[in-house]
Amino acid sequence: MAHRVITGRVSVETQVTEGGGRATVDFHRGATLPGDVPDEQLQWLLRLGHIEPVDNDDSDDGGPGEEPDIEEHEPAAEADRDVDGDEVDLSAMDKDQLLAYAEEHGIAVDKRLGVDNLRGAITVAQE
């Protein structure tokens, strides 16, 4: 089964050379992940709401091509509501905004984390 990125971007391990070399590669919203991504990574990204399963005939190769419709998907695990009831999208926040959000919501996070890990920690804490 193929998986499509529904957040800003995800980083996954995949084969990058004909000889079997592997590396961590970024895939942006709308891209379909390659079929050789380790199952452990797929399960983690599914649980966080960063990817979604798609039918194989509905997928693309994740490479350049048609511009994805970035308004099509709302990351389910990252959506929250602020005090006014408006939706808050963690994928649109930078590190300072994420740290402020965590503090405001009483979520203890390690300030040394990178942006992606910080988003993941906040998301897991909210579940």
In total, how many domains does the chain have?
A: 2
Residue 22 resides in a domain: yes
Which of these, 115, 81, 84, lies nearest to 98 by C-alpha position?
115
Residue 69 resides in a domain: no
Give the number of other Cβ atoms within 10 Å of residue 74's Cβ.
13
Please tell me the predicted confidence (pLDDT) of residue 43: 93
Q: By residue range, what is the domain housing residue 32?
A: 2-58
The mean predicted confidence, pLDDT, of the chain is 79
CA–CA separation, 98 and 118 (whole Å): 7
Give the number of other Cβ atoms within 10 Å of residue 55's Cβ.
8
pLDDT digits (tens, 9 = 90+) for 10-41: 999 998 888 878 999 999 989 999 999 999 99
More confident residue, 62 or 53: 53
- For helices 115-126 and 39-48, what crossing angle results, to 10°? 60
Residue 83 resides in a domain: yes
Q: Which two tokens stand for residue 31?
A: 């891209």
**6 and 35, same structural domain?**
yes
Q: Which two tokens stand for residue 41?
A: 């990574």
pTM exceeds 0.75: no
